[in-house]
Amino acid sequence: MTVLEVRTDDLRTTRFTDHAPVPSDGEIVARVRHFGLSANNITYGLLGEMAGYWRVFPAEPGWGRLPMWGVAEVVASAHPGITEGEPLFGYMPMATHVTLTPGKVRDGGFADVSAHRQALAPAYNNYRRLDADPLWDQDHPGELPLFLPLFALSFLLDAHLGQARTVVISSASSKTSLGLARLLAARGVKVVALTSARNAAFVAGLGVYPDTLTYDRITDLPVVETVFVDVAGNVAVRAAVHEHLRDRLVRSVLVGATHGSVQSGPELPGPEPTWFFTPDHMRDRIREWGPAEFDRRFGAALRDFAAWTRSWLTITTATGREQVRTTYLSVLDGAADPATGHLLTLD
């Protein structure tokens, strides 16, 4: 088993380690077929200490195994409910293999019950059994790992924003933002994109946002009742939006940190920014709608989003140690093209 590890205090420093995975009683070992990589995984690293992401796959002190969303096939099982060959979806390390400890196995999946993962949100410990999964599209095997974790935010935040009339979204070129913008626009909400100069033409060309502004044009935002969805997490951008809209800003929702900072910044005019954490809202919606209805509604919306991306997004696969490391560093540096979906395999 090969693992790509990163320094927890410097995500640019990486190393490969090798281990022999052998399942103990109750464990399974799965071969990681591929995993998606986007700014979301980098944010896991930035928030690693604070939000517990380093606890998912423990490593030696100072080193971390970033969680990725991926597909794996069971190659050894010491658990009575799981057989070899079964495909699974959920959190994977950047590795050739993953060792899991399934709890009670249901038709749809199981939770990993290892002690070090118990403080995490249930959504992060859940593994889907793909043989029985209506979300699994074998013709497009890269879409589930690339889109499910991001579109979950898009879907849940769209429902949460209810009657908002105007929504401004930073890092508008991200897949998370595009999923949200498309859902909002479909129900008549005016969605304004904030993005970097380098991605402005891409964002404007997709036809999802009627208005696209670069970060240096925040003072051109119309001063109307607005919700700000902050995907970039950039302190200066957030301050400029609050300073410009002041009491016309009705909500400021902090979603991500694509620009590499997790600082809270100085006190701002307008509403206090509040975090939107997908696993909490997913838990609430599943309680409200029931798991089957949640899967039905979420699955239909996810399939629609995935089909739309095929007109503008190319999924590429990086294979082997050096390609995987290089792709990881380019996503970390913000050099990745927003029209490319990165699928990685160390096998």
173 binds ligand NAP (CB under 6 A): yes
Q: Which is nearer to ligand NAP, 102 or 273 (CB)?
A: 273
- State which of residues 101, 114, 195, 226 lies at the interface with ligand NAP (CB under 6 A): 195
Q: Which of 3, 33, 281, 244 is nearest to 145 (CA)?
A: 33
Angle among Cα 112, 113, 116 to the nearest 5 degrees reads 100
The string of DSSP codes covering 173-206 is TSHHHHHHHHHHHHTT-EEEEEE-HHHHHHHHHT
How far is it, in rounded angstroms, from Cα 327 to Cα 149?
Answer: 19
Are 176 and 155 in contact, with CB atoms under 8 Å apart?
no
- The angle formed by the CA atoms of residues 329, 306 and 257, to the nearest 5 degrees, is 40
Q: Does 258 bind ligand NAP (CB under 6 A)?
A: yes
Q: Is 215 helix (H, G, I), strand (E, B) or coil?
A: helix
Q: For residues 65, 36, 300 and 292, what is the CA-based torsion angle, rounded to 10 degrees?
A: -20
259 in contact with ligand NAP (CB under 6 A): yes
Residues 48, 90, 93, 338: which binds ligand NAP (CB under 6 A)? 338
Residue 179 beta carbon to ligand NAP: minimum distance, rounded to whole angstroms: 8
- What are residue 214's DSSP bridge partners? 195
Work out which of 52, 260, 265, 271 binds ligand NAP, going by CB under 6 A. 260
Residue 257 sits in the site that holds ligand NAP (CB under 6 A): yes
142 or 338: whose CB is closer to ligand NAP?
338
Q: Cβ closer to ligand NAP: 148 or 189?
A: 148
Classify residue 345 by burial, with Cβ atoms within 10 Å: 0-12, 13-18, 19+. Answer: middle
Integer Cα distance of 226 and 2 in angstroms: 48
Backbone angle region of 7, left / alpha / beta, with phi > 0 → left and psi within -120 to 50 → alpha: beta
Q: Which of 222, 275, 231, 267 is nearest to 249 (CA)?
A: 222
Residues numbered 135-164 forming contacts with ligand NAP, rule: CB under 6 A: 149-150, 153
Find where tokens 């129900």 sit: 187
Nearest residue (CB) to ligand NAP, 40 versus 252: 40
**Binding of ligand NAP at residue 212 (CB under 6 A)?**
no
User: Is residue 70 involved in binding ligand NAP (CB under 6 A)?
Assistant: no
Say whether residue 334 binds ligand NAP (CB under 6 A): yes
**Considering the rule CB under 6 A, would residue 192 count as an interface residue with ligand NAP?**
no
Tell me if 77 contacts ligand NAP by CB under 6 A: no
Shortest separation between residue 105's beta carbon and ligand NAP, angstroms: 27
| Candidate residues 176, 212, 226, 327; the one interacting with ligand NAP per rule CB under 6 A | 176
Closest CB to ligand NAP among residues 65, 259: 259
* Contact window for ligand NAP (CB under 6 A) among 115-123, 158-166, 252-260, 300-308: 252-260
Per-residue tokens: 240: 């400029």
Q: Applying CB under 6 A, does 232 fall inside the site for ligand NAP?
A: yes
Number of residue whose CB is nearest ligand NAP: 334
Structure tokens at 93: 């390390």
**Does 64 sit near ligand NAP (CB under 6 A)?**
no
Q: How far is residue 128's CA from residue 248's CA, in Å, rounded to a whole number?
A: 43
Pick between residue 101 and residue 177 the one whose CB is nearest to ligand NAP. 177
Q: Whose Cβ is closer to ligand NAP: residue 9's or residue 333's?
A: 333
Q: How far is the CB of 73 from ligand NAP (least distance, A)?
A: 25
Residues that bind ligand NAP (CB under 6 A): 38-40, 43, 149-150, 153, 171-176, 195-196, 199, 231-232, 255-260, 276-278, 333-334, 338
